[in-house]
Amino acid sequence: MIVMSLENLPSLSKLQALKKLDLGRTSIKEIPQGLEMLVNLRYLNLGFTDNLEEIPSGLLLKLCRLQCLAIHPASTGAEEIRELNKLEVFGGCFSNLGDLNTYSSQRKGLRKYFIWVSHLSFHGLMDHSKMVGFKGCDINSVDGIILPYDIQKLAVVECKGMRSLNDICGLKDATDLKECTFNKCEELESIFSSGGQLQTLESLYLSSLHNLKAIIGESLIEIIVEDCKEMVEIIVSEEEGMGTIKYSLPKLRILHLENLPELKSICSKNGLMVCDSLQHILIWNCPKLKRIPLYLPLLDSLDKEKPSAPSLKEIRMYPKEWGESVEWDHPHSKTVLVPFLKFWDDHNDQWKQAV
């Protein structure tokens, strides 16, 4: 049980057999006396300890058997954490990019980590697998960013100094990256600059990126874009030509577009998105979008006169007047897609099946 009002503890020096100490979410102001004597400690949680001013220098090095550690930001130096050779799980917050680089440069692989680079408090050991996040950082404040080689999730919030994901140079070796989240990064114009893509990236969450113009990406399972005022095109390709350009997105399951006032196309005007796995489509308040260039397997079912087993489960649109007027590329679209189509009913505050 966690006692949030706990401020002080007696000396722990006689508890040398202790293996787990959870002081997360407590009100302690300083490290309990005798903590350095707990040489058998495997688990130490100091997350959510906003009143804790510091961890004495050298303390963590004495806890050499630590396997799981969560710490409050700026509690101790990155150098000490880096030297914990038995550490398997780490959650914490570094106050600057330099500390992250120090930690990452010689850190062996961990089973799980959740690291934020921010001046804000770190809120405990989160249940995330191999994640690094930046909040309120200037990405250009250091010559380069060193990331854990096996990073799987990246979050970038309210950061400056980057126009595309390629500006985080440490990502070039991120061969396990699956998920990226970007929020309120005013200078961000594109996710990938020309020629740079992360082939393992599956999920992309974009919100409140008011200078974002377009996305380049072909291996995504999930695309969620919200509140990006300058977004004009979702998928951009380097290809040019007079004929139809096919954008193959074989893994894409979720396409969610919301509050994109300048969005004019999902892909180029002569483009066609081939999405064999698409299950959920949501398009909400995208008034300038006139055409949905999706090719789905079920659209050919009438031509072939045989039943289709589509992956598609639903298409949700708002407002209804726009949804009824939007153009679909395939001649059978209106007929075949009606069973999947729902419009938002403002009067009853619910989704209603199209008829």
Mean pLDDT in runs of 10 for the chain (355 residues)?
A: 70 96 90 95 90 88 95 74 93 89 84 86 61 92 89 94 86 88 93 67 94 79 94 74 77 95 86 88 96 76 51 94 88 80 94 90
Q: What share of the chain is helix, strand, coil (3-state, %, to 5)?
A: 15, 25, 60
- Rounded to two decimals, the pTM is 0.87
Q: What CA–CA distance (Å, rounded) separates 220 from 178?
A: 9
Q: What CA–CA distance (Å, rounded) separates 123 from 299?
A: 48
pLDDT value at position 177?
92
Whole-number Cα distances in Å, 325 to 76, 270, 286, 316, 334: 59, 20, 13, 14, 10
Q: Cβ distance 63 to 36 under 8 Å?
A: yes
Span between the terminal Cα atoms of the chain, in Å: 54
3-state class (DSSP) for residue 166: helix
pLDDT value at position 306?
46
Burial class (CB in 10 A: 0-12, 13-18, 19+), 29: exposed
The domain defined by 1-6+15-127 folds into 3.80.10
Cβ-based neighbours of 336, under 8 Å, separated by 6 or more: 298, 299, 301, 302, 330
Q: What CA–CA distance (Å, rounded) separates 218 from 204?
A: 11
pLDDT value at position 18?
97
pLDDT value at position 288?
96
Q: Cβ distance 80 to 36 under 8 Å?
A: no
pLDDT value at position 297?
67
pLDDT value at position 191?
83
CA-closest candidate to residue 187, choices 133, 137, 113, 241: 137
Cβ-based neighbours of 304, under 8 Å, separated by 6 or more: none
pLDDT value at position 250?
87
* Beta-bridge mates of residue 180: 154, 204
